[in-house]
Amino acid sequence: MVVIAAGASSRFAAIELARSLGLPFHDRAPPEPALLLVQTDTRLELHDSSSGARLYVEFTAAELRRYRAGGPGGDPLRRALGPGDRDVVDATAGLGGDAVHLAALGYRVTAIERHPIVSALAQDGLRRARAAGLLGENPLWRTGDARVVLPALAPSPAAIYLDPMFPAKRKKSAAVRKEMRLLRLLVADDNDAAALLAGARRVATDRVVVKRPVDAPPLAPGSAASYRGKLVRYDVYRPERHD
């Protein structure tokens, strides 16, 4: 992975980004196929030069309106997380889509993502959405491993939301497949997700919600409730106290 600049005014920002991520900066893309983090004049993009695929994060006004409106019968994510303007931690924040969804539903959201490049792409999308006046400071973003960050949070959040990577089986649109393929070049399956769930149940004061494909087995036995959407299911787990 190398960082390059594509644009007259982006070179300095690209060098800074490369330094902060501990990645090499190149003035131009290497001739051999590579994953490139490209700082353009307006946004940060991930390119796979072997396939030509590109990935960047863009939150739109239409998307935010849709989240705020919920769906017919209510948003299953909201039903799973419970009512009110409670503190919710998205502990597997990825590219930030769900964190922004949760913020649009009215929760105070702290988003945690451990992969520094995924985190940089998400933060770039949030920065542009804020500059466009679409979002405020919510969601708050942190880069780090949730297994370390969660126990140190004070006060403890009411709810923790988990959406770990799972083996891709279900049918997706071509666009989503392309995005997920690129994401998967960076992030492998989250094989430690069950341990993250166990840790989250020791921190959340009210519940932990796990997103799964609608037909996938639960991440762990013992869920208290389950809310189904068209493609995904939200399994609710109660806290486990070890005092």
Closest to ligand SAM by CB, 5 vs 129, is 129
Closest to ligand SAM by CB, 194 vs 225, is 194
Closest to ligand SAM by CB, 47 vs 114, is 114
Query: Which helix (DSSP H) or strand (DSSP E) does residue 225 occupy?
Result: strand 225-228
SS3 179: helix
Q: Under rule CB under 6 A, which residues in 40-59 are in contact with ligand SAM?
A: none
DSSP 8-state class, residue 173: -
Residue among 95, 102, 113, 200 nearest 153 (CA): 200
Site string for ligand SAM, 140-179 (x = CB under 6 A): -----xxx---------------xxx--------------
CB 105, CB 97: distance < 8 Å: no
Q: What stretches of 25-160 show up as alpha helix (H) in DSSP?
A: 61-69, 76-81, 97-104, 116-131, 146-149
Determine the interface stretch with ligand SAM among 59-67, 74-82, 96-104, 232-240 (rule: CB under 6 A): 96-104
For residue 98, state whether it binds ligand SAM (rule: CB under 6 A): yes
Determine the interface stretch with ligand SAM among 15-23, 61-69, 109-117, 230-238 (rule: CB under 6 A): 109-117
153: Cβ contacts below 8 Å, ≥ 6 apart: 89, 110, 203
Closest to ligand SAM by CB, 3 vs 160, is 160
| Residue 237: both structure tokens together | 């787990």
Residue among 187, 216, 220, 232 that touches ligand SAM (CB under 6 A): 187
Cross-strand pairs, 233: 212, 228
Residue among 17, 36, 47, 114 that touches ligand SAM (CB under 6 A): 114
CB atoms within 10 A of CB 169: 9
For residue 70, state whether it binds ligand SAM (rule: CB under 6 A): no
Q: What is the contact surface with ligand SAM in residues (CB under 6 A)?
A: 91-98, 112-115, 118, 145-147, 163-165, 187, 190, 196
